[in-house]
Amino acid sequence: MTTTSSAPGKVYLFGEHAVVYGEPAVPCAIERRATVTVSERDDDHLRVSADALSLDGFTVEYSDGSDQEPDVNVPTPLVEAATGYVDEAVAQARDAADSPHTGFDVEIESEIPLGAGLGSSAAVAVAGIDAATRELGVELDAREVADRAYQVEYEVQDGQASRADTFCSAMGGAVRVEGDDCTTLDAPDLPFVVGYDGTSHDTGELVAGVRSLREEFGFAADTVAAIGDLVREGERALAAGDVETLGRLMDVNHGLLSALGVSARSLETMVWAARESGALGAKLTGAGGGGSVVALDAEDCVETALGLTPDCEESFRAALATEGVRQA
């Protein structure tokens, strides 16, 4: 038997990095999906085939505890993370099904670049857990999938993950996450435009950098708290459907993230290209260090401007994904 599930990526309207410290965040699911197909094996091995999960994709077969690594031309931490998310997702599925030694063939196809700030790891974890548990005859509800996927990111990211990405991917739409409190939100059909610079970065390393800065300097801790205050203001604007205010707050949020050292020249170039072409607001999304920006623009100007920006490899409209994890 073969079972396939998919889960959406995400952009952050507000709150990345600060959410790690218990401040609220509002991520929104977008219609770029990771699809995971799982087949049960008759041994305890895992054979993982990934298309576009990394820059080149990889195929690797190994059993628990193997030191075999895929041979791909991407930074080693990203390779370790990519296989780590699959390993931990399989472990969660085995635990949910009380089947600790089951082997799987796992095939991953993703529209979401790895390390681009668009929730690739969360989507893979969510879809992987859903597919593997269904393959073993166990059906989890979306919230339980989200919780188990959070445990995956917590393990891979050395305890520095938040529930935001995984909850958003599992539930779909706009969500609010503050610590362990996760809720869905009503949201208008926000006119997201995404620009991606073609690079990949290690989320755990960037999160650790903010943690170090926050521990060393009081202003950095204050900046994290200010992001939390901004998110609360943004929630009111979202509830009112005030897209113009949402855009202004996105601009401020980007400035605060830049102060925490997680922006990059390519991100700044894309943010300013979006703003100068009429975006209501624009900011980096995700861990930063490169990757993606998200802007609000109901017209075509921002997508066109980003497409003409040398630092932008790809620009696209990103419809709000109202459905989270689903069986394909």
Residues serving a catalytic function are 165
**Cα–Cα distance measured from residue 177 to residue 23, given in angstroms and rounded to the nearest whole number:** 8
**Cα–Cα distance measured from residue 255 to residue 16, given in angstroms and rounded to the nearest whole number:** 13
Which tokens go with 213?
A: 């800065």
- In this structure, which amino acid lies at residue 73? N
**Hey, is 320 helix, strand or coil?**
strand
What are the residues facing 48 on neighbouring strands? Answer: 60, 106
Largest CA distance in the chain: 58
- In this structure, which amino acid lies at residue 105? D
Pair type for strands 104-110 and 174-178 = unpaired
Pair type for strands 46-51 and 104-110 = parallel
**Cα–Cα distance measured from residue 229 to residue 161, given in angstroms and rounded to the nearest whole number:** 21
What are the residues facing 108 on neighbouring strands? Answer: 36, 50
Angle (nearest 5°) at CA 112 between 111 and 114: 135
Please give the backbone phi and psi of residue 185, each rounded to the nearest 5 degrees, phi first. -125, 150
Which tokens go with 144?
A: 């339980």
Closest by Cα among 300, 309, 186, 174 to 292: 309
**Cα–Cα distance measured from residue 226 to residue 211, given in angstroms and rounded to the nearest whole number:** 16
Q: Which residue has the tokens 């861990």?
A: 287
E strand map for the chain: 2-14, 26-40, 46-51, 58-62, 104-110, 174-178, 181-185, 192-196, 281-284, 292-296, 314-317, 326-327
